[in-house]
Amino acid sequence: MRNLLAENRNPMVVWIGFAIVAVALLVLPFALAAVGTAWVRITNLAILYVFLALGLNIVVGFAGLLDLGYIAFYAVGAYVYALLASPHFNLHLPFWIILPIGAAVACFFGVLLGTPTLKLRGDYLAIVTLGFGEIIRIFLNNLSQPVNITNGPQGISLIDPFRIGDWSFAKPETFMGLDFTGPVKYYYFFLVMMVIVIVINIRLQDSRIGRAWEAIREDEIAAQAMGVPLVRAKLLAFACGASFAGVMGVVFAAKQVFINPESFTFLESIGVLAMVILGGMGSIPGAILGATVVTVLNLQVLKGLSLWLNELKNAGVVVLGYNLGNLPTQLEPAKYERMVFGVILVLMTVFRPQGFLPARRRERELR
């Protein structure tokens, strides 16, 4: 904030801009609800992915440690809440008690992953983190026998939703003449948490440890020669990123009220990594933009394209001399979302490796 005000000759313009953005964010869910409740749900999911992208950005963007199993920490946080706030063990602890527990357990697993990888880099680090993510998912799938801990592939249902006192976020409420549906209430809750997470990321980036992470990312040997404690800095990066994912896992489980291991596959880790790369590694605004673009592209653009193409097919539209009505199957671009993301990543790597909104320092280095 201080840097932004210092760069602008008229601080009043900056504050007016922040006020306009704040008002727009506050009225956004009601504007989206007028179009359709589905858009509010998509916005909530986009904010969740913003959380995950910001957490992975600490590990990959700030510290330069390639983590392909990041979604495992998300799963750990979600299952911590599911086990402690559901009929599975007949425990119904409050959300605010489970939240730090989920963060602490995920942090422990982050250190557990980081410890054996301290001397690894590049492809070897990617392989180890990939294996760790798959190990966690397989454990969640199989820890139903001989003692039923995770309920296996069936997952855990009837999870307690988030509530403040007697005000449950799973039920619609009317307040001051306005109708607050469950998705709208979760939107404001996610918005508050997103602001907190962004502030924490900014403080981390500008801190001494943030500069140490960037030094490790650019040249590990030079950083060590300058006195950067590699072991502590790397473990802190894994621990911080894992804690963010654990907190978001707790929030995800409270919102969904049902989870199973299929929500935490390797493809989810790749999706979050794509968000960070598209936005710009090491860039906080880039992570936010990348998560938003990928979520909307996946949930709306590709599915809308599928519907549009099938309407053309059913209408027998002729394209380049070929009648689409002669096609034997339905056109489903949404089924190839990972291929679309892959093509986008290849194009970004070739034409704009720094991402859409790169960090200033990284953009100068790439130039």
Mind giving me the DSSP string for 180-213? E-HHHHHHHHHHHHHHHHHHHHHHHHHSHHHHHH
pLDDT at 104 over 50: yes
- pLDDT of amino acid 7: 45
More confident residue, 365 or 209: 209
CB 72 within 8 A of CB 264: yes
- pLDDT of amino acid 361: 66
> How does pLDDT run across 206-244, given as a tens digit for each residue?
889 988 998 888 888 888 888 888 889 999 999 999 999
Q: Which two tokens stand for residue 88?
A: 């599975």
Confidence band, pLDDT 50/70/90 cuts, at residue 346: confident
Confidence band, pLDDT 50/70/90 cuts, at residue 49: very high
Mind giving me the DSSP string for 81-144? HHHHEETTTTEE--HHHHHHHHHHHHHHHHHHHHGGGTT--THHHHHHHHHHHHHHHHHHHHTT
Across 313-344, b (16+ Cβ under 10 Å) vs e yields beeeeeeeeeebeeeeeebebbeebeebbeeb
CB 75 within 8 A of CB 149: no
Question: What's the start-to-end Cα distance of the chain, in Å?
Answer: 26
Alpha carbon 29 to chain centroid, angstroms? 20
- pLDDT of amino acid 2: 46
> How does pLDDT run across 284-343, given as a tens digit for each residue?
999 999 999 888 887 777 777 677 777 777 777 766 566 667 766 666 666 666 777 778
H or E segment to which residue 335 belongs? none
pLDDT at 71 over 60: yes
- pLDDT of amino acid 120: 81
Beta bridge partners of residue 332, listed in sequence order:
none
Per cent of the chain over pLDDT 70 is 86
Q: What are phi and psi of 349, to 5 degrees?
A: -65, -35
Question: How many helices (H) and strands (E) would you count in the chain?
Answer: 15, 8
Cis (ω within 30 of 0) for the bond into 146? yes
Q: Which two tokens stand for residue 169?
A: 């976020």
Confidence band, pLDDT 50/70/90 cuts, at residue 268: confident
pLDDT at 15 over 90: no
Per cent of the chain over pLDDT 90 is 34
As a whole number, the mean pLDDT across the chain is 84
Whole-angstrom distance, CA of residue 98 vs CA of residue 79:
11
Other beta carbons within 10 angstroms of residue 77's beta carbon come to 31
- pLDDT of amino acid 5: 45
Confidence band, pLDDT 50/70/90 cuts, at residue 199: very high
- pLDDT of amino acid 321: 65
Name the least confident of 39-48, 92-101, 323-332. 323-332
- pLDDT of amino acid 1: 47
CB 108 within 8 A of CB 77: no
Whole-angstrom distance, CA of residue 214 vs CA of residue 85:
39
pLDDT at 153 over 60: yes
| Sign of the torsion formed by the C-alpha atoms of 107, 213, 1 and 355 | negative
What value does the mean pLDDT take over residues 44-65?
91
| Sign of the torsion formed by the C-alpha atoms of 331, 336, 341 and 344 | negative
Residue 37, burial from CB neighbour count under 10 angstroms (0-12, 13-18, 19+): middle
More confident residue, 352 or 316: 352
